[in-house]
Amino acid sequence: MNPKFVTALRILFGLHFLVNGANFFFHFFDVPAPQNPLATEFMKAMVETGVIFTAVKTVEVVTGVALLANRFVPLALVVALPVSVNVFFVDVFLIGTWFGGWVLGAGTLLLNVVLLFAYLKYYRPMLCAKAEV
């Protein structure tokens, strides 16, 4: 894969995570409430627990900074994957709109997965079928 293309995707993904994570703490822009009542209840439960949503948004900020700084990128991509999967499921299956669901939800997961494959050489030692001590 072209290194310039991977760099552009890494920066795009890092900005996406940093801006969305930081918005939770600093409120740069309003996020419209989802139209689906299930999505509203899910988001409300995540926020009201306090710890869960704060942890998710902290992961977004930290991984976003790591990706933008080009530091610990393979680790940041693995740490970001559970967040990306949850964003995908919430956005696609609960929100379900074209932009808010498919573009943002599927796009987040797609960016994460493409970048994981771009950095596959760093994961190969871990992909051992039978590890010996």
Among residues 106, 111, 83, 84, the alpha carbon closest in space to that of 95 is found at 106
Number of domains in the chain: 1
Answer yes or no: is 50 within a domain: yes
Averaged pLDDT, groups of 10, the chain, 133 residues long? 97 97 93 81 83 91 98 98 94 82 91 98 92 86
Answer yes or no: is 132 within a domain: no
- Cα separation, 84 vs 111, whole angstroms: 9
Answer yes or no: is 13 within a domain: yes
Q: Which two tokens stand for residue 123?
A: 């994961």
Contact 9, 111 (CB under 8 A): yes
Cα 124 versus chain centre, distance: 22
Q: Which domain holds residue 120?
A: 3-126
Q: How many CB atoms lie within 10 A of CB 122?
A: 14
Answer yes or no: is 42 within a domain: yes
Answer yes or no: is 96 within a domain: yes
pLDDT at 109: 97
